[in-house]
Amino acid sequence: MARFRYRTRDSVGKQGTGEANAKTSDSIVKELQGRGFTVLEIAEVEEKTTAPLVSLGNKVRLTLGMSNKDLMVFTRQLATTLNAGVPLLRILAVMRRRSRSKTLVALLEALSGDLQKGLRFSDALAQHKSIFDDTYVNMARVGEASGNLPEVMTRLALMIEKDVAIQRKVKSAAAYPVFVAFFTMILTYSLLVFLMPMFTPIFQGVNLDIPKDFPLTDFLIKCSNAAKDPMSMGILAGVGFFCYLVIKAILKTEPGAYTRDLFLFNAPMFSKLVQESAAARFARTFGLLLQSGVPLLQALHLVGNAAGNRVITRCIERVAREVSEGGKLSERLEQTQVFPDLMIQMASIGEEAGSLPDMFDHVANYYEEEVSATVSAITAVLEPAMMVMVGGLVCVFVLGLLLPILSLSTRVGGGPM
């Protein structure tokens, strides 16, 4: 048994609202019609949720964002059901009933409430800027204006799915070195705390000048003493946490975030992956906006905000200004010196042939495949490199322990019989 809220009009034109429990909305509609009412609107009422909602006057906004995966599922389900001809309010009610995510349930409830108040779907989406960016909202607005919302939402779903796939590939390339680095830190700490103390008394109890003759061993002993000292480790942890907070605060500023993106854009080994993924995302979003009927200049402004890299964003903003002054898109893209040659060539061909949206779609497909190939190549290089790093660490400890022992055994073996 579900609860439904309805709005009706009687025979003299007076409107009213009410709520009732029933298995389906159709049974309520039939009952109201039998009593002489015309049903203007009916929607299922969900029980209150604990998702983070904040009331702002007569508006309801989500205070937290939603993961790309949830956004991808939401958009795909919405596109599929819209293409099937299901009314939007009915779609939101069904999705709300079936969803297990409290954040998604709260979002669907807020969207339903806005639609029932008479807001357009795009305006309802714009109330939740932490979830839907300008590109998403504007594409929905274009779809509503053209009467082609199902097709536009299908394109949006495809774009988000491609974007999520690229992010997964980039994360998979970074996951291995991060895991190995973490494992190396744990191994180093374990060797310093548990292995070195077993040999330190032996070295100190014999006639060996460790600091002078074996500086590597002396360094490991000092590191071991520091690792066992709670005060030293506390100071180190405090300094590390302070540096983390400082770096986090800097990255929240525009100059700091731009510096980070610029470093990633030119980082050794990873620069190609970052540039290709940025090119794929730019081409996919820009081509999709053009295919949906968004004007060129507006599409440039929107794709700049959604580029995901501030280096690309600034370049696109400059391109938009120059194109608005009468320049050709391909020439302005080439002058930025951040976009690949293939994209510039395809943009030039698209301008001449009048098929710019299709050309950028082809470019996006090409660089999405390149991202996969680059991830495989980076992984193939990183695996042996990480093994060499771990082997080098173990070698340092072996040398630090073995050299004094060999020297001691040589002295004992060379002594008088």
pLDDT in tens, 119-148: 888 888 888 877 887 778 878 887 887 778
Residue 309 pLDDT exceeds 80: no
Q: In terms of Cα–Cα distance, which of 266, 283, 284 is closest to 275?
A: 266
Which secondary-structure segment (H or E) carries 404? helix 356-413
Q: Residue 65: its pLDDT value, please?
A: 58
Return the biggest CA–CA distance within the chain: 124
Task: Please give the C-alpha separations between residue 194 and each of 4, 189, 225, in angstroms, as whole numbers.
Answer: 66, 8, 11
Whether 49-132 and 1-45 are alike in CATH topology: the answer is: no
pLDDT in tens, 157-187: 888 888 788 778 777 777 778 888 888 888 8
Helices 254-266 + 310-324 axis angle, to 10: 100
CATH architecture of 1-45: Roll (3.10)
- Burial pattern 352-365, b for ≥16 Cβ within 10 A else e, equals eeeebbebbbbbbe
pLDDT score recorded for residue 412: 59
Placement of tokens 């060797």 in the chain: 191
Task: Pick the closest to residue 337 from 386, 266, 242 (CA basis).
Answer: 266
The CATH code for residues 164-417 is 1.20.81.30
What would the mean pLDDT of 276-300 be, rounded to a whole number? 82
Residue 363's pLDDT is 87
| pLDDT > 90: percent of the chain | 2
Q: Around 142, how many Cα atoms within 13 Å sit in the side-chain half-sphere?
A: 21
∠ CA 378-384-390, nearest 5°, is 120
Q: How far apart are CA 96 and CA 239, in angstroms?
A: 47
Please indicate, yes or no, whether the overall pTM of this predicted structure exceeds 0.85: no
Helices (H), 117-229: 121-126, 134-146, 149-190, 196-204, 210-213, 215-228
Which pLDDT tens digit goes with each residue over 326-344? 878 888 888 888 888 888 8
Out of 1.10.260.40, 1.10.3470.10, 1.10.274.10, 1.20.81.30, which CATH number does the structure's domain 49-132 have? 1.20.81.30
Distances (CA, A) of 34 to 39, 72, 159, 305, 319: 11, 42, 47, 53, 63
Q: Where are the domains of the chain?
A: 1-45, 49-132, 164-417
